[in-house]
Amino acid sequence: MTATIRPRLDAAYVGRLDPDVRRADYLRAMSFYAPLAGDVFDRIIFADNSGEPLDEFEPFAAANPRISLMSYYGLDYPAAYGRAYGEMKIIEHAMEHANNRDCPLKAARPEAGQARYVWKVTGRYIITNIRRIVSADQSRRRHDLICHSRHYPRRWTELFCFGWSPAGYQRFVSRLAEQLRHDVTELWPEVLMNALVEDKRKYGDIAARCRFPVTPWIIGYRGLNGAPFHTRAQYVKHYAREMARVGAPWLWV
């Protein structure tokens, strides 16, 4: 679970800036995900890059040894780099330091009892059908990357949730921070992510599954402007996408 409880006031494309509001978002999401530690997920790591105290999250970790908390200051980069850069740096930090907490995220041999996939979730979002997304893909052939892409109305790969294998981290995810910098391309990071994934697939650099088995359903508020995901319009859009997924699976909307 990636988190920035107290974003910089000059953070690019972040409208939900109040740290108290954001903390409440993260606590609400943790209440949802905490029971999944040891069930859907082997472990859960909550990683905040704003260096905020995590006292209110401690009860979750105390109640379940499979939940780890990290807070460090990682916002010492130009705001123009964008939100995706910051999130990818959180992933790098978690992957590097989780091993020090008896959580072998980078283990290369999952059959020896180590983690097979690592999943990243934007820590303020509750993905209500995450169990179906994760469980379905765990049983499939190995992929370096598991993500959710769309082709209409534009090519887009979601960043709020994706998973990777140890090899996928080394080949692709560990390099994403610099590749998704907003000041370099000025493209939405999801558009750029789609181009990067398709390029790597085209040349056989990674094996990627680019559609989840179900359309993710999110409860939460957009960081860009604070608008809620769980509205009537989003409900209609979600089920339209589900019908397209079942009736026209080649139509990635």
Q: How many CB atoms lie within 10 A of CB 7?
A: 21
Taking alpha carbons only, the member of 54, 45, 67 closest to residue 19 is 54
Q: CA–CA separation, 203 vs 18, rounded Å?
A: 43
Q: How many CB atoms lie within 10 A of CB 143?
A: 19
Tell me the mean pLDDT per 10 residues along the chain, length 253: 96 92 98 96 96 98 96 96 96 86 49 68 97 74 90 95 95 96 92 97 93 94 90 88 90 90
Q: CA–CA separation, 44 vs 83, rounded Å?
A: 22
Question: Residue 111: its pLDDT value, please?
Answer: 47
Question: Residue 105: its pLDDT value, please?
Answer: 57
Domains of the chain, start order: 2-247 (3.90.550)
